């Protein structure tokens, strides 16, 4: 997979992408990251990429013509709608979730637009395939959301994780939270590992995991159980 990130601050990505799973994915040839400096497509010698909003208002707005040129430069020209996806990272976008990460992992090229300042010219929205938000809060720009999306998608790419089933038995993959995990020491400060996990009875252990996952979801994220119930109701 190739991920092209259009940003005013490419230097922000160096520490994140130079370590852990993303770095290993790049080294193994599973991932290519292309950081594109938006100012390279500025309208003048001063590197202008934004302007004052029509009608007044606070802040500056990224220009549609500059963004358009940057997007066109990122496109390979060989990709199709089924293999390439252009995404605007914005708090007004659809909420990001694990299902979307898995959907995006099936593309061969993602182009991520990092907004900044007061936002982007409204006409930029006509240049993208979708808009994504990582949460109901406002950040300085789209760089951190781009890191989140890249990390979550990368770990789903075939051959990136040594144990690929690790991406299946996780929170949100099945619509509920993951069961509790324990490791050594067996006893610590009057707390012991549940005896069932030491029993060697795999059938009972699996049943325990399901029970604990459901109980944890009910306590911490009842909205997930409600969403599952609603989906089942609509499917009938």
Q: Among positive and negative, which fits the CA dihedral 133, 60, 124, 3?
A: negative
Residues shown for the chain: 236
**3-class DSSP state for residue 220?**
helix
Residue 76: predicted pLDDT: 84
**3-class DSSP state for residue 214?**
helix
Classify domain 169-235 by CATH architecture. Orthogonal Bundle (1.10)
Those residues of the chain that have pLDDT short of 50 are none
Residue 55: predicted pLDDT: 94
Task: For residue range 78-88, list pLDDT tens digits in order.
Answer: 888 899 999 99
Residue 231: predicted pLDDT: 75
Task: For the chain, give every residue range classified as CATH 3.40.1280.10.
Answer: 2-154
Residue 171: predicted pLDDT: 57
Residue 123: predicted pLDDT: 97
Residue 166: predicted pLDDT: 56
Task: For residue range 5-42, list pLDDT tens digits in order.
Answer: 999 999 999 999 999 999 999 999 999 999 999 999 99
Task: For the chain, give every residue range classified as CATH 1.10.1270.20.
Answer: 169-235
Residue 232: predicted pLDDT: 75
Q: Which CATH number fits domain 2-154: 3.30.460.20, 3.40.640.10, 3.40.1280.10, 3.30.590.10?
A: 3.40.1280.10
Distance of CA 177 to the CA centre of its chain: 18
Q: Is 136:91 a contact under the CB 8 Å cutoff?
A: yes
Give the C-alpha separation, 184 to 172, whole Å.
26
């Amino acid at each position: 997979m190739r991920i092209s990130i259009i940003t005013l601050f490419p230097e922000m990505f160096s520490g994140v992408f130079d370590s852990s799973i993303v770095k290993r994915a790049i080294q193994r040839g599973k991932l290519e990251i292309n950081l594109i400096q938006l100012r390279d497509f500025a309208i003048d010698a001063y590197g202008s990429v934004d302007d004052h909003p029509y009608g007044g208002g606070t802040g500056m707005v990224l220009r549609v013509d500059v963004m358009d040129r940057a997007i066109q430069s990122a496109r390979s020209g060989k990709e199709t709608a089924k293999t390439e996806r252009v995404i605007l990272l914005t708090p007004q976008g659809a909420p990001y979730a694990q299902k979307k990460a898995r959907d995006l992992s099936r593309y061969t090229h993602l182009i991520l637009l990092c907004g900044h300042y007061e936002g982007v010219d409204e006409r930029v929205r006509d240049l993208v395939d979708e808009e994504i938000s990582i949460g109901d809060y406002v950040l300085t720009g789209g760089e951190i959301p781009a890191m989140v999306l890249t990390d979550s998608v990368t770990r789903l790419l075939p051959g990136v994780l040594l144990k690929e089933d690790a991406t299946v038995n996780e929170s949100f993959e099945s619509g509920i939270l993951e069961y509790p995990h324990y490791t050594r020491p067996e006893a610590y400060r009057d707390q012991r590992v549940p005896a069932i996990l030491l029993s060697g009875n795999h059938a009972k252990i699996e049943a325990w995991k399901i029970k604990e996952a459901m109980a944890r979801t009910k306590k911490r994220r009842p909205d997930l159980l409600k969403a599952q119930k609603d989906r089942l109701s609509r499917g009938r």
